[in-house]
Amino acid sequence: MRTGVRRRAAVPASALTALLLSACSGAPADAGATGTATSAPSSAASPQLRVEKVAGGLEHGWDVGFLPDGRLLVTERPARLVVLSSGRPGATVTRVEADLSDVQVRGEGGLMGLVVHPDFATTHRFTTCQTHTEGGAPIDIRLVTWRLADDGRSATRERDLLTGLPLAAGGRHSGCRPTLAADGALLVGTGDTASAAVAQDRGSLGGKVLRLDLTTGAPAAGNPFASAADPKERYVWTYGHRNVQGVAVRPGSGQVFTAEHGPSFDDEVNLLRSGANYGWDPSRGGTEQTYDESVPMTDRERFPDAVDAVWQSGETTQAVCGAAFLTGRAWGAWDGALVVTALKGAKLLVLTLDDAGAVRNVAVPPEFSEAYGRLRAARTAPDGALYVTTSNGSDDQLLRVTPA
C-alpha cells in the first residue's frame, strides 16, 4: 500500500517534533496553513474518554450502521455481515445469512462500506460496497442494496445500485466508503486501483468521490459534470484522489471531508468542492504507464487549480481511514470536531476546525495511542456516541467511545 519513494519539500524539524510530541502525549497540536503541526498548546480542554468494548470476535470490521431500534449492522471485510443486539457492552452478535459468494476477498478488497437507508424503518434497506467476481474472475466494485429480514438473521439482495467501479486483480486501493450527504445524496469515496491514469480520468469511477441517488442509482441532480457525454463522468463529484477511506459530512454546514491514504507519507484530510481536482496523478500527465508514486499527493505544478489538503500527516505515516464528526455538548471542546482513525498509526486523530473548514488543532487522545492496534471505521450514532472498529485481523472489536 505504501511502497512509493516520495520527493517533497522538507517539513521543518520543529513542525515534525511538535506532531510527534502531540502523538505521544495526547496533547493537541496547532495546525498551520497546510495542516502541518507547528506547536503543542495545553490539552486542558480536551475531554477524557470512556472506551467500552461492545463486541469482539470480528475480523476486519469495515463499517457500522445504526438501525432505528438500536441494533447495529457491521460489515467484515472477509464477506461477512453481522447484527449486534445493541451498541452497549455485552451485545449479542448474530451472523446475517446473505449470498456474498460473489465477493472477492483479496488484498484491500472484500465487503467494505455500508449505509443504512433513511427509510429503513419501513423498507429495511441498506447498501454496501463490495468487490464482485464472476466465474472466480474479478470484475468490478459495486454498490449493492439489500433488505434485512425482520428478525435480522438474513438479508436479501434487491439490486445492484451502481456497477463498474474499477477493481484491481489483487484488491489494491479498493476504497469504497459510502456516506449520506446533507441533501440525501449518496457520496462514495473510491480508490484508484493503483492504476496510473485512473485518478485524473473523469471517465473512470476510481480515484473519485461519486454522488448519486440512493434510490435509483442515477447520478445525483446538480453534479458538476451532469451534461458529460460519458455516463460515468456524470457521477463524478471530485477527482484526482489516490485512495479515499473516510467520508464525513459536517453537521449544520453540509461541508464534506475525506480521509485519504498517501503513498509513503502525506496522508490527507480534504475539504471537498464540487467539480474540483485534488491533484493526484501517478501517470504524470499520461507520460508514465507505470504507477509512479514519487509524485506529490497534490501536484500544483501540473494542476495549478488543484485543491490543497486541509491537513497532511507530513513525514509520519498514519494510514488514515474512517472519519466522523463528534456532536453534542458532552464532548466539550470537541463538539463539532472531526475524528479520523489511523491504521498504521494505530490511533485516533481529533481535528478541531474553524467555520471555513481549516484545521486549527490536532489532538491524539491518549486512550487510543496504540492501545487497540489498527483502527478502521468511525461512525457517530444518533445519541452522539462514537463507534470505532479495530482492524488487526484477529479478534477485532467494536468500541463505543463517549466523554468520561
State residue 265's pLDDT score: 85
Please name the residue ranges forming H helices in 103-260: 120-123
Strand pairing of 244-249 and 37-39? unpaired
- Tell whether 9 is covered by a domain: no
- Tell whether 94 is covered by a domain: yes
State residue 14's pLDDT score: 30
- Tell whether 13 is covered by a domain: no
- Tell whether 147 is covered by a domain: yes
DSSP-assigned letter for residue 306: P
- Tell whether 195 is covered by a domain: yes
Q: How many angstroms separate the CA atoms of 311 and 308, rounded?
A: 9
User: Which CATH number belongs to the domain containing residue 284 in this structure?
Assistant: 2.120.10.30
Please report which confidence band the pLDDT of residue 45 belongs to, taking 50, 70 and 90 as the band edges. low
- Tell whether 203 is covered by a domain: yes
- Tell whether 268 is covered by a domain: yes
pLDDT > 70? residue 70? yes
When mean pLDDT is compared across 26-35, 107-116, 180-189, 350-359, the lowest value belongs to 26-35
| Number of independent structural domains in the chain | 1
- Tens digits of residue pLDDT in 75-108: 999 999 999 999 999 999 999 999 999 999 999 9
Residue 320 bridge partners (DSSP)? 342
Whole-angstrom Cα Rg for the chain: 20
- Tell whether 256 is covered by a domain: yes
Range of the domain at 82: 51-337+352-359+374-403
Please report which confidence band the pLDDT of residue 184 belongs to, taking 50, 70 and 90 as the band edges. very high
pTM of the model: 0.91
Average model confidence (pLDDT) for the chain? Answer: 90
Residue type, 253: S
